[in-house]
Structure 1
Amino acid sequence: MLPAPKAILFDLDGTLLDTAPDMAAALNRVRAEQGLEPMPFEAIRPHVSNGARGLLGIGLGITPDDSGYEGLRERFLALYAEDLAVHTCLFPGLEALVESLEQRALPWGVVTNKPGELTRRLLEALEITPAVVVCGDDLRRAKPHPDPLLFAAGKLRLPPNAIWYIGDHERDVVAGNAAHMPTVAGRWGYLDGERPIESWGATVVIDNPEDIAHLLSRADQDATHTETVDAK
């Protein structure tokens, strides 16, 4: 059971925004510079939530321990920054959801491991204005540590257990659970297949962004029912 929230926080890549096309394009530009053929989009998409480290791992077979990693990481991020909002958009159903949240004065925000400069440029380019944004380099520790979620809760001036956190990666659920936030895992995101989504320990697993509205409606009904019973 999910309690009616006083705010909702979203992961960014693979949850709120479909950034995979632009990130895949940047990876294939790096591959081209290395004399490699482009990778199929379908092979890249599941790894987008793992950021530059995950993409360079599957695209170039390198890790942060390799000597050339940092240079290639900087090149990938530079290429991505050049065209970070060409094909990126809200996932279907989320524009309407965001509008409904704003109409009901329910604050919403973003907690992501994406670097702050890229995150804020992207949100500005898409004219998206969350109430709070916490990025991967804003604090000393990023997800799966709960610190970014707790920081966001503090900025919203709400207890963590009054906020839903919605994500598409196990680290999102781990961070949310550690912060004592109800967690929602979405199947529409960039699932990397490492562990089944049902095993992450989320409060609820949903298939589509439209399901968030159904969860909110159900939580509101449960809250109304509880208030009615308590009043008797």
Structure 2
Amino acid sequence: MPGFDLQCVLFDLDGTLVDTAPDLIACLQRTLLQFGLPGVDSATVKPQISSGALAMIRQAAPAADDDAQQEMLAFMLTCYQDNIATHSRLFPGFYEALSAIEAWGLKWGVVTNKRQRFTLPLMEALGLTPRAACIVSGDSTGHSKPHPAPMFAACASAGVGPKNCVYIGDALHDITAGKSANMKTLAATYGYLRLNDEPRLWGADGLIENAEQLTGWIKDSLCR
């Protein structure tokens, strides 16, 4: 990659760096029970996580009207805030990947559409806050992804230029945001993909299936 001087690795959070599905789905199931609705198969709502809690509720309770869905959303988010990292963990190999990134003298950070009230406690609970060069949430700027504003905010916080970053995400809006900010992008195919998602058509600079492929891509970039 001529002219590419990698300095910072940026991650989406849910479905890319951290497997938050167990806690989010557990809170959704508790919400459904609270509102007298049947539980839902986890596999049917997991692909909605990248689109937010309301999308999960709409998938699980499509017959509920808007007011009911908003009541369910408030209950679910309170439940989630109280159980932010009960079962959530980094995806396999990513503790080692972050250590490798740091050992290579690179910065890393998070750019997510998750709200600060959830992002910051989750990062803290996982011991990631002191290590991250930047943490940008969905309400940190006036726009959320796919708008590039969060990407630029992350660069400003980390003290790097967008052209010297790679952004990894598991949704089209992640890749769109990264490309709009003139970053390299990698699509995480192990994430919370929908059945009709086709990451190979998103225009990313590469596809990664696991942490080892990410560290391999970074190593190759540093050697060129």
User: TM-score scaled to structure 2, two decimals?
Assistant: 0.93
201-210 or 144-153, which deviates more: 201-210
Determine helix, strand or coil for the equivalent of 1:9: strand
Q: Is the 8 A contact 1:56 1:62 kept in 2?
A: no
Determine helix, strand or coil for the equivalent of 2:10: strand
Q: Is the 8 A contact 2:18 2:88 kept in 1?
A: yes
Match of 2:79 in 1: 79
* 1:48 equivalent in alignment to 2:49: yes
Q: Distance in 2 between matches of 1:137 and 1:69?
A: 21
Deviation at 1:196, TM superposition (A): 0.7
Deviation at 1:62, TM superposition (A): 6.6
Q: Distance in 2 between matches of 1:126 and 1:160?
A: 26
86-95 or 101-110, which deviates more: 101-110
Q: Is the 8 A contact 2:58 2:69 kept in 1?
A: no
Deviation at 1:195, TM superposition (A): 2.9
Match of 2:145 in 1: 143
1:213-228 equivalent positions in 2, closer than 5 A? 213-222=215-224
Deviation at 1:193, TM superposition (A): 2.5
Match of 1:90 in 2: 90
Q: Deviations over 1:174-224 (max 9, x none)?
A: 1011111100001110001333111111111121121011101111221xx
Q: Is the 8 A contact 2:35 2:72 kept in 1?
A: no
* 1:192 equivalent in alignment to 2:176: no
Q: Deviations over 1:60-95 (max 9, x none)?
A: 2279x8233332211110011111211100000100
| Structure 1 vs Structure 2 CA RMSD | 1.6
Q: Distance in 2 between matches of 1:156 and 1:84?
A: 25
The count of corresponding residues between Structure 1 and Structure 2 is: 221
- Relative to structure 1, the CA distance from residue 100 to residue 192 in structure 2 (aligned partners, 3 Å threshold; closer, same or farther) is same
In structure 1, list runs of 5 or more residues that go unmatched: 223-232
Q: Select the structure of larger CA radius of gyration.
A: 1
Deviation at 1:166, TM superposition (A): 0.4
Match of 1:226 in 2: none
Determine helix, strand or coil for the equivalent of 1:69: helix
- Relative to structure 1, the CA distance from residue 110 to residue 195 in structure 2 (aligned partners, 3 Å threshold; closer, same or farther) is same
Q: Is the 8 A contact 1:4 1:216 kept in 2?
A: no
1:196-207 equivalent positions in 2, closer than 5 A? 196-207=198-209
For 2:104, the aligned partner's letter is R
85-94 or 49-58, which deviates more: 49-58
Match of 2:101 in 1: 101
Q: Is the 8 A contact 1:184 1:205 kept in 2?
A: yes
Match of 2:177 in 1: 175
Match of 2:17 in 1: 16
1:117-128 equivalent positions in 2, closer than 5 A? 117-128=117-128
Q: Distance in 1 between matches of 2:59 and 2:221?
A: 40
- Percent sequence identity over aligned pairs: 36
Deviation at 1:36, TM superposition (A): 1.8
49-58 or 183-192, which deviates more: 49-58
For 1:152, the aligned partner's letter is A
Deviation at 1:105, TM superposition (A): 2.4
Deviation at 1:4, TM superposition (A): 4.4
Q: Is the 8 A contact 2:147 2:180 kept in 1?
A: yes
**The one of 128, 133, 136 aligned to 1:134:** 136
Q: Report runs of 4+ in structure 1 exceeding 3 Å deviation.
A: 1-4
Q: Distance in 1 between matches of 2:40 and 2:68?
A: 20
For 2:107, the aligned partner's letter is P
36-45 or 210-219, which deviates more: 36-45
